[in-house]
Structures are given as structure tokens and as C-alpha cells.
A and B are shown apart, each in its own frame.
Chain A
Amino acid sequence: MDAHIQVKNLVAYYGKQQALKNINIEIPKNQITVIMGPSGCGKTTLLKTFNRFFELTENTTLTGEVLVDGQNIYDKDVDVTEVRKVVGLLAQRPSPLPMSIYENVVYGMNIHRMKKDRREYKEAVKHYLEIAGLWEEVQKRLHDPATSLSIGQQQRLCLARGLAVEPEIILGDEPTSALDPISSQNIESRLIELKQQYTTVIVTHTLRQAKRLADYVIYMYMGEVVESGPAKEVFNNPQHKRTKQYLEGLF
């Protein structure tokens, strides 16, 4: 397997509460990996360690390694802003920045000085809004506040904004849980379209979504990885009793 992210001996605590117990997994490149498991199993915590968001919560401790392309992102001389540029995040609820639709997409490219002039920015905004499937709807009102969009549109704007900084990995923390079914479907199809170019890691608590999206599955329970492997194998022939129970909907 061509692993894009490797997690080695990862242990995480919130205060004295252990959230992750010695995680060792690999996440394949340019596929959709779905992390699933019951509430409180540590799936979101694990996701947050991939873009160094775990440390934003106060009073947390973390040991072990997360390697992206073989480089440990918890090394002392790692620039956390570079990590977050490479590892993008699609949050649970869309949170547009307090500016126009256009400026939202430009924001990331601007802080990383990725484009030379206005024309390049304009082209890039169009490009990424098209990828996110939003261009048709917003091309005539690019300078309206981002909050004037519907929640579903806002989430696609957040996708465009995230893609605009040219990440290699997209993390999704239950990215459709705040959306209506049609918007959810829309986001799901974007993610499937994009998986050729990006390594995608999605946390979800809906089994059906996991089955629709996953190429690779990680099943977690009580802070541990119970089982991981290609989606077909895990869904059709789970090796562990707990995975089987979860898939059968017993909890």
C-alpha cells in the first residue's frame, strides 16, 4: 500500500482522560479513508491529530508520531502553518470568514502568497468554485457576504476555500452532518470526484455514508483501532466481533 499518512504509537490525552490508546495505522494515498465508530470512540480526536488541531484544545498531551509523506508533523522544527496548508480541513459546520464569497476563496492563497496578480486570483477563484460546484450559483454575486449563502452552499464554499491553498490531503470531520440530504449528496459527489488527486480522510457516524464513500476503512472503539483495511474486506468480511456488531447495527 502506498501510505500517505502513517500513525505510529499515537497516544492522546484530554487532561487525564485518555482519548487515543496507542494508534498504529496507515492511510492510503489518493483514496477515501473513512474513520467510523460509535460516539466518543476517538475518531474526531484522531482526525484532529492529522492537521495539528488537537493541540488547540487546552490541557492536552500527545505522544507518538504522525508521518505525512514520511515526515513527522510533530517534529520540533516543523512549521505548523505549512502542515495545515498541506492537510486541509472541512469542518462539521461550514464557517465562512467574515468577508465576501470572493475574499473567502482568496484568503488562503493570499496569506501563502500563491498568486502574483489580480487576474491570477480571479482565475483561481473561478477554478476552485467550479471544482466545488458552486460557480454557477455565485458567479453573479461574488462580492456578497459569504453568510448570504445557504448552509449547503457555505460548505461548498469552504471546500473551495480549502482546495485553493493546494492541499494534498483533505480531512472531513462529519462534513455533511449539518447539511440537508441534497447538499450532503452534493458534497459526497465532490469528494468522490476529487479522490483521484487528494488523499481524503472522512470521519462519519453514518454507516450508509461510510459504505458510499469508503475505499479504506478504519473502525475505532474506545480510543483504539479495532480494525482497518480496504472497504470491501471490512464491510463484507469483518475480522473482529465488535466491527461485525457495529456493521449489523447492534450499537
Chain B
Amino acid sequence: MKFLKQPWQRRHLVEAFMKFIMRVSLVFVAGALGLILWIVVVRGLPALSWSMITQIPKGGYYMGKEGGILNAIIGSLYLATGGTALAMIFSIPIALYLKTYLGDSQWGHYVRLSLDVLWGIPSIVYGAFGFTLMIAFGLRASLLAGIIILALIELPIMTRAMDEVIRRMPVDLEHAALALGSTKLEVALRVVIRQMLPGITTAILLGFGRGIGDAASVLFTAGYTDRIVTSLMRPTASLPLAVFFQLGSPYPEVQRRGYAAALILTIIVLAVSLGSRWISARLNKYTIK
């Protein structure tokens, strides 16, 4: 027969082997994710209670008595939302400027390089930097300082995420708009941004995820408090630090609450992730592939 299968031929063997390696990698990664979720759920779920998400720590909470971590939940939502919003305000114009006026020029290259370097800086360094500045200006740890530091951390991530999306935009699209007599700014604001909308939601997701999960930077800049924050100038609690402090406790019931706090954090990130995917899919309708 002319078309007989020859599984022992070298190229078919190589393909089978490579496919196997790819599958193993996939199983490893999926397994790690599954394990993380499993541990957080198994350890955190029993300790998760209604009072945990509706109350602030009461006297003796850190020794296992009554209370919850509403202060940290609200603090983290404020911090991450504020940081992401602030980072958006700066990253969208930077991304558009990179595309519209710098392009692939030498300057564009430098800006991208510095953003990539900023992306790689550990958050503890951002925290230390923010702390130094606060001392220099005589400021105390506050929600505002935390938001600013988180915005700085999120800015390079969000800008580069958007930049990569815009750079993949077909040049014909830009030319089509220019041919109708658009200025470069009109192309940027009316065409590029439309094309970029799904990219913006991805950027928000990345930025928010990084911001809400970051412990080191807010440790120095936002501080920690058992009260619900009411002013930008006051310190605030945050979920990552709530996890950290409670897991470090010698009391087993407090440790379990640490896992519960981690579970809450994971659920928030998951919700934001799914929500932005949903929005992204709807915005995707008009983009040119």
C-alpha cells in the first residue's frame, strides 16, 4: 500500500517525542496551579466565615479570638484599584505616544528599554524607594503613598502590555485613517485606541493582579492598621500583609485564617480576571485581526 503509516520513521518519532515533552510541561504547570489552589482551598475554606469578610479584627483577634479582615479586603481593593487607575492615566498616553510619534525609532527603543528595566525591579526596592522619599518629605505611611508606589510598579507592566498590542496593529489600518485626512492624533485617539481596547483590559488585569498581590511595597508605604481606612492620608491594611502576618503567627487557628485570607485574595483576582475577559471578548468585536 502506498500510504501506509510508518510510525518508526525518524521524523515521526521526533514528532511523537516532542509532543510528549510539551504535554509533560503542560501537566507540570497545570499541576502546580492546581496544587496551589487546592492547598489554599483545603486549608483556607474551613476557616473562612461570614464574620471574616464582614468584620474588622477585634481585641485578641491575632490570638485566635473574634473578628475578620474586612480592613485588609477594603484596603487592598482601594490600593489596587487606585494604583491601577493612576497607572492607566499615565500608561495609555505613553503607549499611544510610543506608537504615534516614537515608533521604532532610537528614542522609542530607549523608552521601551527603561520600561522593561522598571518591570524587572523587585517590589521591595520600590517599597524602599518610596519609604526613602516619604522620610525625605516627612510623610507617614498612608493609602495615598501605597497607591502611588503600586502605580509605579504597575506602570511598566501596563504600558508594555498595551504597547505590544498596538505594535501588532496592521499598518494598513493607520494608512486608511490617514488617507481620509486624519491627523496623527486623530488616528491615535479614534482608531488605535479602538483597536487597542481588548489590550487595555488585559493590561488592567495584569496591573491589578500585580498590585493587589504585592506585599513588599505596601509594607513600607501603606503600613498596616486594624481599622478600615477612611482617608487617603491614613495607613491601611492589605490582604497580602494580612496573609503574611497571620501565617507567621504561632496560633494554628490564626494560621488557618491566613490561608482563608489567601483564598479571599485568590477569589478577588479570579473575579477580576474573568470579568475583564468577559469585557475583552465584547470589545473584541470590532478589532481588526
Contacts and interface: CB of A to CB of B under 8 A. Distances in A.
B217 to A, nearest CB: 36
Contacts of A64: none
Interface string A145-182: 11100000000001001100100000000000000000
A100 B177 contact: no
A96 B177 contact: no
A51 interface: yes
B286 A108 contact: no
A51 B180 CA distance: 10
Given A98-B287, A100-B286, A147-B289, A84 B180 contact: yes
Contacts of B9: none
A91 interface: yes
B288 interface: yes
Nearest to B289: A147
Nearest to A51: B179
A14 interface: no
Interface on chain B toward A: helix, strand, loop, or mixed SS? Answer: helix
Interface stretch (B181-189, B225-233, B261-269): B181-189
B175 A98 contact: no
Contacts, number: 73
Interface in A81-115: 81-85, 88-89, 91, 93, 95-100, 107-108, 111-112
Contacts of B170: 95
Contacts of A93: 172
Contact of B178 (A84, A99, A145, A165): A84
Contact of B181 (A85, A91, A158): A85
B286 A95 contact: no
Given A111-B186, A147-B289, A98 B180 contact: no
B172 A165 contact: no
Interface residues of A, number: 29
Contacts of A82: 181
Contact of B190 (A89, A107, A146): A107
B194 interface: yes
A139 to B, nearest CB: 19
B176 interface: yes
B85 interface: no
A108 B181 contact: yes
A98 B181 contact: no
Contact of A85 (B176, B180, B195, B286): B180
B289 A53 contact: no
A145 B179 contact: no
Interface of A: 51, 53, 56, 81-85, 88-89, 91, 93, 95-100, 107-108, 111-112, 145-147, 158, 161-162, 165
21 contacts: A53-B178, A82-B181, A84-B178, A84-B180, A91-B172, A91-B175, A93-B172, A95-B172, A95-B288, A98-B194, A98-B287, A99-B286, A107-B177, A107-B180, A108-B181, A111-B190, A145-B285, A145-B286, A158-B176, A161-B180, A162-B179
Nearest 4 Cβ contacts at the A-B interface: A85-B181, A108-B180, A95-B172, A89-B179
Given A95-B173, A98-B191, 15 more contacts: A53-B178, A82-B181, A84-B179, A91-B172, A95-B172, A95-B175, A96-B176, A97-B176, A97-B194, A108-B180, A108-B181, A111-B182, A112-B181, A147-B288, A165-B181
